[in-house]
Structure 1
Amino acid sequence: MSATRICALSELEQDTALRVEVEGVPMAVVLDGNGEVHAIGDTCTHGEVSLAEGFVDGDTLECWAHGSAFSLTTGHPLNLPAYEPVPVYVVTIEGDDVLVDPAVTRPTN
């Protein structure tokens, strides 16, 4: 597989998650307060709900349903009830295009 354009950088709102699906893989894409773009698995590992509907706080995305916050850089949950990480995808910026390859994840350790 190769990287797929998911949106324009200018379409992302700072500290807001955007739900996208790339080749059948749901992702939450976030432009954080430092201007970095992150893509993590969109499904909370505790409750099977969309993380993109949650709340961005710094470098975390909090599940709206049960309150587990996930690191945007590692995918690890930072509090219970979730205890399993979500995948973190490699994001590439080319001009104004945001690209993600759903087959390429960053290590979560």
Structure 2
Amino acid sequence: MSEWINIVAEGELSPGSRKVVATPYAEIAVFNIDGKFYAIEDICTHDGGELASGICEGDQIVCPRHGARFCIRDGRALTPPAYENIDTFPVRIEGGMVQVDIDG
């Protein structure tokens, strides 16, 4: 069953920006990549550190601790030392709000 939660007003998350929110499930990072929104769990699968403060290069986030890269669009682990994918969440725009399905 879906559980959609409001993250931020659509106009407040400009292209190239991100926002991290605490949810009942986990810390979730929402990214605006070229006008499209994506949500990932803000945890590196290599060592459990946060990801969202890392550098974004296109649709990739670089872990600030050890440099592992993940695809923001689908959660794939792209480089060592991470080998496990990160969780992603469905995102939608509803009533001008960016929403994430934390049960998705």
- Calculate the TM-score normalised by the size of structure 1: 0.86
1:60 matches 2:78: no
CA distance in 1, matches of 2:18, 2:63: 11
Preserved contact between residue 14 and residue 35 of structure 2 (Cα < 8 Å): no
Q: Deviations over 1:58-101 (max 9, x none)?
A: 11111111111111121011111000001110001124200011
What letter matches 2:6 in structure 1? R
The structural deviation recorded for 1:22 is 1.8
1-side partners of 2:67 and 2:17: how far apart?
Answer: 16
The question of whether the paired residues in 2 share the 8 Å contact of 1:61 and 1:72 is answered with yes
Higher RCO, Cα 8 Å, sep 6+:
2
* Per-residue Cα deviation, 1:8-49 (whole angstroms, up to 9, x for no partner): 1222243233211222321111101x2111001100011211
**Structure 1 residues 1-109: aligned runs within 5 Å:** 1-32=2-33, 34-104=34-104
Deviates more, 1:57-66 or 1:17-26: 17-26
Unaligned runs of 5+ in 1: 105-109
Count of equivalent residues: 103
CA apart distance, 1:3: 0.3
Q: CA RMSD in A?
A: 1.4
What displacement does 1:2 show?
1.8
In 2, the alpha carbon distance for the partners of 1:51 and 1:9 equals 22
CA contact (8 A) 2:21 2:28 kept: yes
Mapped partners of 1:100, 1:23: distance in 2: 12
**TM-score of the superposed pair, with normalisation by structure 2:** 0.90
